[in-house]
Each structure stands twice: as structure tokens, then as C-alpha cells.
Structure 1
Amino acid sequence: MSKRHSAKHKLDRRLGENIWGRPKSPVNKREYGPGQHGQRRKGKVSDFGIQLRAKQKLKGYYGDVTEKQFKACYTEAARMKGDTSQNLIGLLEQRLDMIVYRAKFAPTIFAARQIVSHGHIRVNGVKCNIASRRCFVGDEITLGSKAKEMALVLEAQNLAEREIPDYVAPDGNAKITFVRVPTLDEVPYPVKMEPNLVVEFYSR
């Protein structure tokens, strides 16, 4: 499992956007960049800079995904039929940690990663601790018996700031079914994501 070496909210400050839609984000107070010259740093951004920023934002949103994993995801999306940017979003949303997050089993994507890696999640009745595992349509994801009582899980289920999307069908508080691979407009991102720019970045 990759480890995040910098504070999560540094990414928010650097991008100037509350990418996870969390109420504690520092961007809610200060929209300018970090550092002594953060308020003045408004230079013209090149096409490469715009594409890089779009990639950093999308990659950052999915938590601790490494550059190697993210690029492998893009490579696979490019090989698939159809729109590469839509394929990329579909592959990222099929990750087990992301489905756990969408199901409101965890308050943040980082907590979802932790719950999976600690063995609290079952896929079709089998314990799985691999956060990057790809789930398929029809897969049932359930919470382990210990996890149902965890404060983290109970906090997540009471969060008013997020709703469970249509492509994840809940069955009670501890079980969901992955109904379909979503398209970009179905994914409830708190900020605008531009996977088309990510595709341009990698296909240069």
C-alpha cells in the first residue's frame, strides 16, 4: 500500500479547490495558494500546466493511488472500446476502496482504504484486503461484523454532505451491490473533473 507523505489538505490548498467537499478543508477559509506569495501567484498557465493540474486533481481525489497505478489505469482505458476519458472514470470507480467510500461505509477515501486493508470488507462473501481490487457489475460488498460497530463507519453513514449514488444499490446499512459502471456525469464529484485533459496529458 502506498503511503501519503504530505498532509491531505495541502493538495486542496495547492489546487485552490476543496476536491473532497469536506467541511474542514482550508480552502473554505483561504482560496489562494499556500506560502508567503500564495496570494500573488497567478501567472499564466501553459496547456501542459492545465493538463498536469487536471491529472493531479483527479489522481489526488482517489487518495493514495500511485502514479504507476494511475498510468496503468489510463493505459487500460485507452485499450478499451469507446471514450478513453469515460473508460478511465469507470475503471477508477470500480476500485474496491472507492465503492466502499461511495457506499458510505467510510467518511473519507483514506478511511475507506484503511477499512479494506484491515480486512473489514467482504466481496461476494469473501474477505478482501486489497484496496485496488476491481469490482464488477453484480458484485456484493458487505461490512464485516466488527466493522458494523466501528465509530468511523457510523460517522460515515450519518454524513449529510454525501449521498449514495445510483450505481451503488444499498441493502440495509451493511451491504451494497455494484449495479453498473458509471459515466462521468453520474459520479458525484464535489468539484469539476476533466478526464479529457488527463487523456491529453498522457497521450502527448
Structure 2
Amino acid sequence: MSKRKASKHKLDRRMGENIWGRPNSPVNKRSYGPGQHGQRRKSKVSDFGLQLRAKQKLKGYYGDVTEKQFRSTYKEANKLKGDTGQNLIGLLERRLDMIVYRAKFAPTIFAARQIVSHGHIRVNGVKCNVASRRCDVGDVISLGDKAKEMALVIEAQSLPEREIPDYIAPDGNDKVTYNRVPKLDEVPYPVTMEPNLVVEFYSR
């Protein structure tokens, strides 16, 4: 399982954006980067720098998946018909941990990954502990019995800053159906994501 060891808030400050839309993000108070040089005047960023930043932001948003996993997802998206950037977003949104997060079963993507890895999630009634599992349209994702009473889950369901997107259909408080693969403009990102720059980064 991919695990982020560094502070999650550091990614927000390095990007200069509240990429998860959290109310307690330090960017809400300090928009500059971390460290003693964080307030220095920013120099012009090269095309490569913009592409790298877009890749780091998107990869970080999805729970900071490993570079190997992310590059593999890009290669798969590139093989599919249609726009590679849209395909990349579609594949990332099909991850089980992301659907758990979108369904408001967990307050953060990191908590969603933990809930999955601890065996609290069912896919079509069968326990699954693989966060990177790719769900298909029509799959039913539900909470296990113990998870329904977890404080973490109850907290997530009461969060006012997030809503369940249209491509995930809730059935009560403990079950959702993955309706369809979303397009970029349907995904509720708190900040602007630029998958086209990610495609340019990997296709250099």
C-alpha cells in the first residue's frame, strides 16, 4: 500500500493551493511555500516546471500514489481511444479508494485508503482490501458492519464542504453504485487540474 510519510499540508503549501479543499489547510492562512525561502519572489516557471507541477498536484490529490502506479495509469490511458487526459482522469476516478472518498465514507483520501486496506469495504458484497482496485460501472460499494459505526465514517458523512457527485448514486448511508466514468468537468476538484500538462510531461 502506498503511504505518504511527509506532512500532507506541505503538498498544499508547495503547490500554493488547497488541493483537497480542506478548511484547515495552511494555504488558507499562508499562500506562500514552506521553509525559510518560501516568501521569495517567484521566478518564471519553465514549460517543464509547469508540467511537473501539474503531475505532482494530480498525483498528490489521489493520495500521493507511487510514481510507478501513476506512470502505469498514464500508459494505460494513452492506449485507450479518445483524449488521453480525460482517460487518465477516468481511470483514477475508478480507483476503489477514490470512490470510497467520493461516497463520503471517509473524510480524506488517505482515510479512505486506510478503511479499504483494513477490510471495511465491500464491492458487490465481497470484502476488498485493495485500495487501487479499479471498479466497473454498475459495481456496488458498501460499508462493512463495523465501519457503519466508526466515528471516522460518521464524521465524513456530516462534512458540509463535500457533496457526492452525480456519477455515484447513494443508496442510504452505507451503500453507493458507481454509475459511470466521469469526464474532467464533472469531477469535483477544489482546484483546477490540468491532465493535458500531465500528458505532455510523460510524452516528452
Report the TM-score range of the alignment, normalised by the length of the smaller protein.
over 0.9
Query: What is the RMSD of the two structures over their aligned residues, measured on CA atoms?
Result: 0.6
Q: Residue 144 of structure 1: CA displacement?
A: 0.2
User: Which residue of structure 1 aligns with residue 142 of structure 2?
Assistant: 142
User: Which residue of structure 2 aligns with residue 122 of structure 1?
Assistant: 122
Which letter does structure 2 place at the counterpart of 1:125? G
TM norm structure 1? 0.99
Which runs of structure 2 are paired with 1:7-26 in the superposition (5 Å)? Answer: 7-26=7-26
CA distance in structure 2 between the aligned counterparts of 1:41 and 1:4, rounded to whole angstroms: 29
Please, which runs of 5 or more residues in structure 1 have no aligned partner? none
Please, which runs of 5 or more residues in structure 2 have no aligned partner? none
Q: Residue 72 of structure 1: CA displacement?
A: 0.3
Which runs of structure 2 are paired with 1:1-204 in the superposition (5 Å)? Answer: 1-204=1-204
CA distance in structure 1 between the aligned counterparts of 2:37 and 2:100, rounded to whole angstroms: 39
TM norm structure 2? 0.99
CA distance in structure 2 between the aligned counterparts of 1:13 and 1:174, rounded to whole angstroms: 34
Q: How many residues align?
A: 204
Q: Residue 40 of structure 1: CA displacement?
A: 1.1
CA offsets 1:138-162 (integer angstroms, 9 cap, x no match): 0000000000000000000000000
CA distance in structure 1 between the aligned counterparts of 2:10 and 2:38, rounded to whole angstroms: 13
State the SS of the aligned residue for 2:55.
Answer: helix
Extract structure 1 runs of 4+ deviating beyond 2 A.
none
Q: Residue 2 of structure 1: CA displacement?
A: 1.8
CA distance in structure 1 between the aligned counterparts of 2:128 and 2:41, rounded to whole angstroms: 45
Which letter does structure 2 place at the counterpart of 1:197? L
CA distance in structure 2 between the aligned counterparts of 1:49 and 1:28, rounded to whole angstroms: 24
CA distance in structure 2 between the aligned counterparts of 1:148 and 1:5, rounded to whole angstroms: 28
